[in-house]
Structure formats: C-alpha cells, structure tokens
Amino acid sequence: MRKASTPDQRISTTHCAVRASRPRRGVLHLSAGAWIIVLIAVVSTCAVAIWPIPKRSGLDMWTSARAHVPMYEPVIARWNEDHSPPVNLFLLSSDVLGRRMMSGFLSQTPLADIIEIERSQVGRAFAGPLEDVGFVDLTERIHREGLYEQMNEPSFSPWSSRGHIFGLPHDVHPMMLVYRADIVEAAGIDVSKIQTWDDFARLMRPLMNDLDREGQPKRYPLSLWYTSPDQVEALVLQAGGGYFDDQGHPVIDSDSNARVISTIVSWTAGPTRIAADAPEFTGSGNELRIQGFVVCSLMPDWLGGVWKLDLPQLRGKLKLMPLPAWTRGGRRTSVWGGTMLGIPKTPDLEKVWPFARQLYFNESVARKLYETNDIISPVKSMWKSEFYGLPDPYFSGQSPGSMYIALAPMVPRRTSSPYNMMAKERVQDALIFLREYAIAHNQYDPYQLIPEAKRQLREAQESVARQLSHNVFLRQERSG
C-alpha cells in the first residue's frame, strides 16, 4: 500500500515539477542587450589592463576659483622655467573638486599634489581622526618657518582642526558696510555718528519716510534677510558668537546668538523693520540696489570686485564704513568666505611645499588679486604695498584696501567643524520659526524675543549634537 506524501514531500515534489517545466536560462539564454553589456565590460576591462596610459609629468594643482587662474598662470610659467618638476594647473567646479578630494582621501584614488579649496567644501576633510585627515599637517612647518607670524593670525582658523593647521590661508575677507553715499548724504545723515547697530537703526530710519502710492517705504536702510545663512553667520561671528567652541562642541544656544537672531527678526518684520531682501548675485537684487531700494549692504572685500562687474552703474555713488558694532566699542568687522591651499599627504612634500609657499607669498599675485577682485592678502608684509592705498573711483575716491587692512586683525575666528553647514541650516530654521512666533504674537522687541530665541536655538543645538554623536571618532577624541 502506497504511503501518503507528507506536506514537505508534496511541496518538494511540486517545486521540482515547476523547475522542470521552466526553460533553463543559463548564460547561453542571455538577451542580446545583456550580451552587449557583458561584451562592453570585458573589452573595457581588458583595455584598462593592457592599454598604456601615459602619466603626466610634474605636479598637479586643482582650484575651483576661476578668477585665480589668470593670475596664477604667469607665476606657474615662470616657476616651470626654473624648477623641476613643472606644475600643471586645473580648474574644477567647487562641487566636483570637493567630491574628488573626498574620494581620494577615502578610497586612495589619485589626487592633485596641491588643492586650493573653499571653506564650504573643506570641512568634510576634518570629520575623522586627526591622523586620517587627508591633508599634510603643516603646523610645525608653519611655525618653524615663521609663517604664522607673517600671516594674519585669525585667518588660519578655518583651516585648523583640534589645534593643527592643514592649509595656508589665501585671504582674510574682512567685512564692511557699503552704502549709497548719494542718498545718505542728501538726507543729511552723518555716518560718523553710527557706532552701533542701534545707532544705525535710529539714524537711518528716516530714509523710510518717503512712501510709494501704496503707503510702503521706497527705501530700506539695510539689505539683509533672515533666510541668508551666510549673512546671519557673519553677524553672529561679529557679535562674538558662533556655532562651535574650540573643542568642536556645539554652542548654538548661547546668549549672544539669541540676541543676534532676535535682532534680525526685529529688522525684518513688524513696525521695527529696517531691512529688505535684495539677494546678492541675482538680477532682481542688483536692480533693487540700482534703484536705491536698499541703501546699505554687508560687504566682504571680495564682494566689491563682484559689484564692479555686476553694478557699474553705482560707480562713484558708494562709500564704505566699518560695520556698526553690537556693543559700543565692540568689533567693527566680520568675515564671509575663504579659501586655503592644502597639500594632500604625499612623499613629494619637499617638492610641493616651495611652490605652494611661493604662490601665496607672491606680491604680483597679491597685487592682481586686489586689482581684479578687491581681495587683500593675509601676508602682513604686503599690507604696506602702495596699491592698497590707491583711491578707488568706484567707492567715491576712498581707499578700500587700506580700510580693509585696518580691520583684518580683528576678523573673528571661525570653526572648521564638518558640521558647521548643518549648524547654519538649523539656525536658519530657528530664525524662521522665531519670526513666525514674533508675527503671531505681535512681538518685535528683540529683548522680549530672546527667551523664545533661546528655545529655538536649543532645539537646533540638540539636532546638531545628535548628528555629531554618531561620529565615533570625534566623540572619542573629545572624551579623551
């Protein structure tokens, strides 16, 4: 008598039957498209393995600063005449340079011998243990050769991590306030009486008295908006605040930061409003400046060069002054932007370093940098150069170079934290929520807004701290 099949046996039998009924699809049954893909893969693999790829001789340098290329090329050409190996300069977009840099650091793929990189991209290089930072630690060399004393000391801060310096500063980027002198002086406003931001609001407010047909001001004293994280950070730094301390701990919810964002809300909403949104690098923002809709703007040195190209109509109508301080006698400048020259870890350091030093200590480069971009050098010995003191017709005959140099030693220090970009975003969120709170409660006194500002900043800090806690390397270094 035949025994009944068990459930497991029935399943196994059915599975075998199904398998037997299906056509076998081994490698011989691939579709035509799949065979083409396989063929391409095989051919390309063989080509990579056997094709002789000539290696470019010399040292490679990457930069994302298009404006730097014309001033570097003559220096590199002269260097290559007298030195070996020669230097090859390559221009990459900022994002591409940042991705290729991190790819090289993390996967050991080829990198340039010298990398000029902006602050917005470099922070990721400092996310791991110090020994794993992909750039050469230049600390001892910079001090031994006296470069630390020769350059503007605060300008090293964005390129330093946990007490170690990984790049030479390309710039200082101190900030001033640019204003429409034709409008301000016609209104009888004496800017020499403006020492603080409270002075600025009080003395500039009469510019808003001229109204259009809808009863809205034709002019606003300040071009600034709460959705600009770079402008917000510049004001936070000017006030003595910041988003991280020297050990990399988030300090976003500080009293200083709360005061600044509360004041920005009072400048951008309600009856105390004195600011309007005229974004930099936009046609609409430039048109508002030409019309005089916004009278004053925050201006780091590099932005003057941008305005000369984009706003030639304002030539002779502008003047510069130090930023109003947050407290009487306080800091009259801030900082925005920056670039460094770093050297990826290489056995050829002694071949690379002399060129890197020559490039950033070259007076002809410093002169062209100022003449074409309004950017001052961080090399203090160059500050006495006559070209910095020349009157500039664009700024009504003032000497912007000398004015920026006077402020350079006072630029605030900045963090190199890889989480600074996240912190800027979370602070922007806090500002948006604080402004909504102010409107909902009809409360625009900055001192009355501080408790809510602290609450919003505390949430921002907790968000950043949670993310930072996932980085086991930084957590171990701080605890150690």
Count structural domains, the chain.
2
Domain final residue pick, 354, 380, 410: 410
Burial of 144 (C-beta count, 10 Å sphere; 0-12/13-18/19+): exposed
Q: Are residues 216 and 311 in the same domain?
A: yes
The torsion of the CA quartet 223, 456, 239, 410, rounded to 10 degrees, works out to -90
Q: Are residues 297 and 329 in the same domain?
A: yes
On the question of pLDDT at 15 being above 60, the answer is no
pTM: 0.86
Considering only CA atoms, give the Rg of the chain: 29
The torsion of the CA quartet 194, 198, 200, 205, rounded to 10 degrees, works out to -140
Average pLDDT over residues 397-407: 98
Residues near 309 by beta carbon (within 8 Å), at least 6 away in sequence? none
pLDDT for the residue 45: 56
Which carries the bigger pLDDT value, residue 66 or residue 470? 66
Residue found under tokens 């600034």: 224
Mean of the per-residue pLDDT values of the chain: 90
- Listing DSSP states for 308-342 in one string gives HHH-GGGTTTEEEEEPPBSSTT-----B---EEEE
Q: Are residues 287 and 327 in the same domain?
A: yes
Domain final residue pick, 410, 428, 459: 410
User: Which of 264, 237, 241 lies closest to 253, judged by CA?
Assistant: 241
* 21 inside domain: no
User: Which of 269, 299, 275, 300 lies closest to 439, judged by CA?
Assistant: 269
Q: Are residues 222 and 353 in the same domain?
A: no
Q: Are residues 256 and 390 in the same domain?
A: no
Tell me the CA distances in angstroms from 142 to 148, 235, 341, one per residue in order. 6, 30, 13
Q: Are residues 106 and 158 in the same domain?
A: yes
Of the pLDDT bands very low, low, confident and very high (cuts 50, 70, 90), residue 43 is: low
pLDDT by residue (tens digit) across 337-371?
Answer: 999 999 999 888 999 999 999 999 999 999 999 99
Q: What's the token pair of residue 38? A: 């396989």
* 43 inside domain: no
Enclosing domain of residue 241: 175-335+412-479
Domain final residue pick, 359, 376, 410: 410
Strand partners, 151: 379
Q: Are residues 329 and 342 in the same domain?
A: no
pLDDT by residue (tens digit) across 59-68?
Answer: 999 999 999 9
pLDDT for the residue 470: 83
Q: Which residues of 229-268 are buried (b: 16+ CB within 10 A; e: fewer)?
A: bebbbbbbbbbebbbbeeebebbbbbeebbbbbbbbbbbb
* 345 inside domain: yes
pLDDT for the residue 6: 43
Burial of 299 (C-beta count, 10 Å sphere; 0-12/13-18/19+): buried
What is the amino acid identity at position 75? V
Q: Are residues 200 and 160 in the same domain?
A: no
The dihedral region occupied by 444, where left means phi > 0, alpha psi between -120 and 50, and beta the remainder, is alpha
What end-to-end distance do the CA atoms of the chain give, in Å?
Answer: 78
CATH, residue 259: 3.40.190.10
Q: Where are the alpha helices (DSSP H) in 252-300?
A: 255-268, 283-291
Of the pLDDT bands very low, low, confident and very high (cuts 50, 70, 90), residue 281 is: very high
Q: Where are the alpha helices (DSSP H) in 175-228?
A: 181-186, 197-204
